[in-house]
Amino acid sequence: MSNIYALFSAHVGRTPDKIALIFEQQQLSYRQLDQQVLTLCSYFRQSGLKTGQRVALFAPNCPEYVVVLLAVARMGLALVPLPISLKGDALIQALKSTPVAAAIAWPTVSKLLTDSNVIAGSPLLTLQKPVGDELSWAQLMHDYSADLQSVPAPDPEAPYILTMTSGSTGQPKPIVLSQRCKIARAFTATVQCYDLTVDDRVLVATPLYHSLAQRGVLMPLMLGACCVILPKFTINAWLRAIETHRISFLFAVSSQLEALLAEPVSSDLSSLRCVVSSSAVLNASSKQQLLQRLPGHFHECYGASEVGVVTDFCISQRPDKNGSVGQALPHVRLKIVDDSQAELAVGQVGEIACHTSTGFSGYLKLPAATAAAYDADGYFLTGDLGYLDQDGFLYYAGRKKELISTGGINVYPQDIEAVIKRHPAVIDCVAFGCPDRQLGEYLKVVYEQKGEDDLSRELRLLCLAELTDYQQPRTISRIAELPRNQMGKVLRKQVKDDWGP
């Protein structure tokens, strides 16, 4: 089987002068990008890094991020991508859970690493002005030659990216992804699914330490297409990039598409052949509005970091299935199971389980947690709730741990949130359970809105009209702004922690 760098390098040979990467005013051809990759490989080799060792990367979206992804792939190293906002105990804990042999960092993080002594004795490369006597990226590109000599081809089954997630304890739980996994997710679950070609231009506007953004970068470079990266998402920069660079394909998180709906129609989006919504389920009203705004095919997908994308739904082709997140991709099998992992019938809500060829290699040094993530038939237990209809379309009902039990009856937060979001002034909301002596839990909703009008009575009437008695929120509270991560996804646990009883 091939590896990521070999697939990229083939296009360096075939189309060396084709633009591979665009970032703001900077454009890199396949040849120019490869020169930087091989220069970084030379640095890794001269620093004494060996196959299988780990490199931490703390960087914002930038061309250097892409160079590191490809160089690590070429050398058979493993990358630990972390946000530059990480600091204090969280930073130290992350590096303790995945010890690294070298680090590449933004200056602010380089200073933290130096001051804390957390990677003492390991090479440190700073992306801009150095904070001490460590090497800077500019010095590296000036002083080192792109001479790789004889480095053996990497093992595509070996760990390539260790991406962080958290278990129920909140401790880091690194997900191990191999090059084989990344290649399969790029081609089997993306290129083949959406009919991408070397002529496509792909836009990436989410943080590159996230798995989906990494696929958005690596996929076009392995395909021989062009990738456009934004430093960060703003709706104006996003729209401008689509129009300027004639973007044809992109993954968008749902919050980006919601931001699009708030903008007047002015940009030329005619180049968009396919848009895929991910991260969180769009409500039915937003989907209908987006169908009017977006040209080409509009899809929604469902997946998880451990397994990649497992379902896809072409909204523009099946409006009758508007509430669904689609059918299983050809390489995926789905089932819904109860707490004892017995398969449930059509229409019954339970845990979503999937069998796929794009799965992860396991949780780092956590064999028991890895084994517990699968049932006896090799299906990954996602921790998400949903049901399948008679046509095999999956409907998402929320996280299993977010299920609300009131008076012995299960209530799914998404059912309540879907009703609240129908109000045109509601931006977003979160429904969650609060302890109750008699019922076990009562239902509370907090919401973010446009304008200053008091919506409490209207929302209460909406709930009374649309929800059954046991789904009625006891409390509906407005807050100034819901907390979100850098992907724009609402931090539900923080909402419950901050606005619970």
Could you report the per-residue pLDDT of 127-158, keeping only the tens digit for each?
999 988 899 999 999 998 877 667 888 999 99
203 occurs within a structural domain: no
Cβ–Cβ < 8 Å for 478, 425? no
Please list the residues that pair with 387 across neighbouring strands: 395
Tabulate helix, strand, coil % of the chain (nearest 5): 35, 30, 40
Q: Is residue 364 part of a domain?
A: yes
Q: In the predicted model, what is the mean pLDDT of residues 94-123?
A: 88
The answer on 453 and 386 residing in a single domain is no
Helices (H), 119-232: 137-143, 179-186, 192-194, 211-223
Same domain, 339 and 391: yes
Cα–Cα distance list, 196 to 38, 226, 239 (Å): 27, 11, 21
Among 115, 135, 168, the domain-final residue is 168
- CATH code of residue 100: 3.40.50.980
351, 383 contact by CB (below 8 A): yes
**Three-state SS string across 393-436, please?**
CEEEEEEHHHCEEECCEEECHHHHHHHHCCCCCEEEEEEEEEEE
Q: Is residue 176 part of a domain?
A: no
- Do 393 and 337 share a structural domain? yes
The domain boundary residue, chosen from 400, 419, 439:
400
DSSP 8-state symbol, 188: I
Length of the chain: 501
Same domain, 249 and 368: yes
**In this structure, is residue 3 part of a structural domain?**
no
Average pLDDT, rounded, for the chain: 91
pLDDT of residue 170: 47
Lowest-confidence pick of 4-13, 44-53, 118-127, 216-225? 118-127
List 297's β-bridge partners, or say none: 274
CATH number at residue 435: 3.30.300.30
Q: How many CA atoms lie within 13 A of 467 on its CB side?
A: 24
Considering the domain architecture, whether residues 259 and 395 belong to the same structural domain is answered as: yes
pLDDT tier for residue 377 given thresholds of 50, 70 and 90: very high
Confidence tier at 195 by pLDDT (50, 70, 90)? very high
Report in angstroms the alpha-carbon separations of 214 from 28, 205, 209.
18, 11, 7
220 found inside a domain: no
Last residue of a domain, one of 369, 385, 400: 400
Same domain, 337 and 274: yes
Q: Which domain holds residue 463?
A: 405-499
Query: For residue range 265-285, what is the model confidence (pLDDT) as tens digits?
Result: 778 999 999 999 987 788 778
Domain count, the chain: 3
Asked whether residue 322 is domain-assigned, the answer is yes
What average pLDDT score do residues 492-501 get? 88
Indicate whether 193 belongs to any domain.
Answer: no
Residue 340 shares a structural domain with residue 421? no
- pLDDT band at residue 316 under the 50/70/90 scheme: confident
Locate 401 and state its tokens. Answer: 């741990």
Q: Flag whether pLDDT at 421 surpasses 60.
A: yes
Note whether 151 and 256 are same-domain residues.
no
The total of other beta-carbon atoms located within 10 Å of residue 365's CB is 11
What is the number of helices (H) and of strands (E) in the chain? 16, 26
pLDDT in tens, 167-185: 433 456 789 999 999 999 9
**Are both 388 and 411 inside the same structural domain?**
no
| Most confident stretch, 84-98, 212-226, 394-408 | 212-226
Determine the pLDDT at residue 361. Answer: 96
Token pair, residue 133, equals: 């006597």
The first and second tokens of residue 53, run together, are 């060792």
**418 and 484 co-located in one domain:** yes
Q: Note whether 325 and 420 are same-domain residues.
A: no
Ordered DSSP codes for 340-409: T-PBPPTT--EEEEEEETT---EETT-HHHHHHTB-TTS-EEEEEEEEE-TTS-EEEEEEGGG-EEETTE
Are residues 143 and 292 located together in one domain of the fold?
no
In a domain, residue 184? The reply is no
- In this structure, are residues 431 and 416 in contact, taking their beta carbons and an 8 Å threshold? yes
CATH number for position 325: 3.40.50.12780
Return the structure tokens found at 81. 């991508």
Across-strand partners of 311? 302, 328
